[in-house]
Amino acid sequence: MNVTRGFSGRPRVDRPGLPPGQYDAGDDWPVLSAEVTPDLTPADWSFRVDGLVERPRSWDWDAAHALSPSVYEGDIHCVTSWSKFGVRFGGVSLDTFLTAAGPLPSATHAVAWSHTGYTTNLPLTDLTGGRAWIAWEFDGKPLTPEHGGPARLLVPHLYFWKSAKWIAGVRLLDHDEPGFWEQNGYHKRGNPWEEQRFTGD
């Protein structure tokens, strides 16, 4: 795991909106990647929804950009204890992709996978209801490769390891299937407000 972090000033731990055990990283945005940053261009990128759906669907860059845009403005929280306030991501709501594919009634969970092979699992209810995005812009600019560009999953109400960079697809399942970090001791859901960091928390 390649961890890069630089602190601009003293970490703040007293800020409203800060989940327990977190500090405010200020303007810093640490990069945390288990993989080498892939050389992935928009032309190489695609996003797929399959598994327990009526119509497995794939979108290339242009098809995804033809969908109605959606913005997230708020905070993000990494399990390594930094939080970042007031970020702005642009992309498309995951609801738009899921609705097009038509989840079957038996679908309860999902595994998101990246073009690099990274995986992470989520309950389907955490990916619906306007709480998850496929994001390709940050602060009005293209998402940079080290932060998951061309596009990443964004699930900001959960710890940031759920927000798979270089997102390739979401597979709907009728059971929970641990992803990369979840197989390595991290919590299956990862709610920062309940400090669900590790298995058993």
User: Is 58 one of the binding residues for ligand MTE (CB under 6 A)?
Assistant: no
31 binds, among ligand MTE, Mo ion, none (CB under 5 to 8 A by kind): ligand MTE
User: Of 25, 53, 64, 78, which lies in the binding site for Mo ion, with binding defined by CB under 5 A?
Assistant: 78
Beta strand pairing status for 119-123 and 109-114? antiparallel
Q: How far apart are CA 31 and CA 25, in angstroms?
A: 12
In the complex with ligand MTE, the residue whose CB is nearer, 106 or 184, is 184
Stretch that binds Mo ion, among 28-36, 43-51, 102-110, 189-197 (CB under 5 A): 28-36
| Interacting residues with ligand MTE between 15 and 34 (CB under 6 A) | 29-34
CB neighbourhood size of 114 (10 A): 23
Q: Give 30 or 123: the residue with its C-beta nearer to Mo ion.
A: 30
Task: Please give the distance of CA 185 from its chain centroid, rounded to a whole number.
Answer: 19
DSSP string, 42-58: TTT-EEEEEESBSS-EE
Pairing of strands 82-93, 23-24: parallel
Cis peptide before 150 (omega within 30 of 0): yes
Instruction: Please report whether residue 29 would count as binding Mo ion according to CB under 5 A.
Output: no
> What distance, in Å, lies between the first and last C-alpha atoms of the chain?
23
Residues 90, 91, 103, 148: which binds ligand MTE (CB under 6 A)?
148
Residue closest to Mo ion (Cβ)? 78
Contact between 173 and ligand MTE per CB under 6 A: no
Residue carrying the six token digits 């061309």 = 150
Of 37, 70, 96, 116, the residue at the interface with ligand MTE (CB under 6 A) is 116
180 binds Mo ion (CB under 5 A): no
Place of tokens 């490769």: 145
Site residues, Mo ion (CB under 5 A): 32, 78-79, 160-161
